Amino acid sequence: MSPLGRPGGATSWYTSSNVSPGSVGSTVETGDDAEARLGKYETDTVVTAYVLPEEPGRAYLEPKRTGAPLPLMGMGGLFTVVGLGSLLRSSLGG
What average pLDDT is seen over the chain? 75
Residue 76: predicted pLDDT: 92
Q: Has residue 25 got a pLDDT over 50?
A: yes
Q: Is the pLDDT of residue 6 over 60?
A: no
Pure H helices in 1-94: 31-38, 70-91
Q: pLDDT: is 78 or 9 the higher one?
A: 78
* Average confidence (pLDDT) over 24-47: 75
Which of 5-9, 28-32, 67-71 is predicted with the least confidence, judged by mean pLDDT?
5-9
56 confidence band (pLDDT: 50, 70, 90): confident
Sign of CA dihedral 55, 57, 61, 66: negative
Structure confidence at residue 77 (pLDDT)? 92
